[in-house]
Amino acid sequence: MNQCIHESSSVDSDVIFCSHEDNACNVPVSFCQVCPFFTGRTTSKDFFEATSQLLVTKQRLGEYETNPNPCGGCKDHAKKAPCKGCKDAKPCKGCLEVKRRDESLQFVWPYWYGGASGDEIRFSVRSVEKFFQGKAKCLIIGDKPPWYSGPHLKKNRIGKDTNHRRFRDTLSKLYWMATRPEVDNEFIWMMDDIYFLKPFSVEDIQQPRAEQWGPSEFNSWQRRKTNTMATLAERERTTHDYATHMPHHVEKEKLAALFEEFNLHENTLLWEVLYGNTHREQPIGVRPFFRRFQTPRNLQTLRNLTKKATVMNHTSGAWSPEMREFLMEVLPDMATCEAKEGQIVPTFKKQRVVKRRPATVTIKQEMQLQ
C-alpha cells in the first residue's frame, strides 16, 4: 500500500484516509492519486477500480447516496409476499415502482426492418416507456416494423454500391438525428437490442461509462475502432472505449459539429467513441449497470445474470426463444405505439449445428471389441 503524501491521516475501521486542513481529500491512501494534491505516485489499481472504491467510501461517510431499491421498498416486497395485482407467489419485476418526473426526453432508434433478427425493438420501446422516470418520446428513423404506429421518420437505406454499407447507413441516419427538426436538441441514441430492466433517470445515462481499449484487427468493427482511436490520439484526446452497445445521451449541436470535425460524411469512424472522448468527462466502468450477451442462455441464467443490471444488450446470435421469453417476463405490457401481439410472429435464426467427426478407432481397439 502506498503511503499518503500528507503529514496526517485519520483512521476509520481498517481503512486509512488522507486528511487535509481544508478537507479537500477524503480517500483511502491506497489510491491517493485521485487526490488533487497527489505528486505522481501510482498504485496497482486502475481508474475504474479506484473510482468504485471511492464511491463505496463516500457512501460510508454519508457523502454519496446510492440509487433506491427499484421496487420502491413496498411493504409487500419487504415481506416477500406478492405485490397487489401480481399473480405470482413471488414478487415479479413487472411490479417495480417507477417514480415519474415532469421532464420529457426523446429516445431515437436508427432502424432497418430487413436486417432485424426478430421483434427486438418491440421490447426496447416497451422498456423505455415502462422504466424511464419521466415522459418518454419515441422516434424511429429508417423503416419501421409493421406493428409500430408511433413517431417515425422514413429514410431509405443507402445504395448497395456504397462501400462499408452497414456502417455508412448508420452514419447517414445519425446525421438526420443531428440535423432534422423532428429530433430534439437533446436525445438518447438507442439500438433495437438495447433494453432497460429497472427504473432509470436521464442522469443514469448521462454518467460516462466506458471500457478499457486495446488495439485489435479481429474484424471490420475492431479495425474501425482502432482507426478511430488513432484519429483521437493524433488530436491528443483520450481513447476510452465508449462503443459499449449502451444507450448514449447526445446533444444535437455537438453531434453535428462532430460530422464536420472528423468528416464523417466520408470517414467511416465510430461516432460514439469520437463523441465520448470529445465531450464526456472521465468515465467509470459499465458493470454492474450493464450486461451484454453474445451467446444463447437459458431463462434462469438470464434472470440470474441480470439481477444487478439496469441495461441489457445482446448480439443477433443471442436472440433466441429463451431471450424473448425473458423479455416478455420483464416487459409484458404493450407500448402505446404497439399493435396487438397476435399480428406479429417472432422469428429466430437457426442455431448452427456443429457436426462432430466420429472418433478414430485403431485396429487394436477393433480387435478388442470383437
How far apart are alpha carbons 12 and 26 in whole angstroms? Answer: 11
In Å, how far are 140, 171, 246, 286 from 243, measured between CA atoms?
Answer: 21, 14, 8, 11
Q: What is the mean pLDDT of residues 134-148?
A: 93
The top-scoring range by mean pLDDT among 43-57, 75-89, 93-107 is: 93-107
CB-based contacts of 277: which residues, under 8 Å, 6+ apart? 232, 237, 238, 239, 240, 242
The reported pTM is 0.69
The answer on pLDDT for 175 being more than 50 is yes
Q: How far apart are CA 148 and CA 214, in angstroms?
A: 39
For residues 255-259, give the mean pLDDT: 96
- State the burial class of residue 8 (Cβ atoms within 10 Å of its Cβ: 0-12, 13-18, 19+): exposed
Residues 64-78 as b or e (16 or more Cβ within 10 Å = b): eeeeeebbeebeebe
Residues 6+ away with beta carbon under 8 Å from 280: 208, 242
pLDDT at 265: 92
- Residues above pLDDT 90, as percent of the chain: 54
Res 355 pLDDT > 80: no
All three cell numbers of 77: 416486497
pLDDT of residue 351: 46
The pLDDT value recorded for residue 63 is 53
* Residue indicated by cell numbers 467509470: 284
**Burial profile 81-105: b = 16 or more Cβ within 10 angstroms, e = fewer:** ebbeeeeeeebbbbbbeeeeeeeeb
* Main-chain phi, psi angles of 286, to 5 degrees: -85, -25
Asked whether residue 356 carries a pLDDT value surpassing 70, the answer given is no
Q: What is the pLDDT of residue 22?
A: 40
Q: Please, which residues bridge with residue 137 across strands? A: 106
d(CA 276, CA 281): 8
Domains, the chain, ordered by start: 9-60 (no CATH), 101-370 (3.90.550)
Dihedral of alpha carbons 320, 325, 326, 327, sign = positive
Quick check: helix, strand or coil at residue 10? Answer: strand
Strand partners, 196: 311
- For the stretch 8-35, pLDDT in tens is 434 333 444 454 444 445 444 444 444 4
How many residues belong to the chain? 370
Nearest residue to 94 (alpha-carbon basis) of 70, 73, 118? 70
| 84 residue type, one letter | K
- Segment 184-215, tens digit of pLDDT: 999 999 999 999 999 999 999 999 999 988 88
Cβ burial of 19 (10 Å; 0-12, 13-18, 19+) is: middle
**263 Cβ neighbours under 8 A, 6+ residues apart:** none
What confidence score (pLDDT) does residue 329 get? 96
Contact 174, 255 (CB under 8 A): yes
| Spatial contact of 93 and 329, defined as CB atoms under 8 Å apart | yes
- Average pLDDT over all residues of the chain: 77
d(CA 176, CA 186): 14
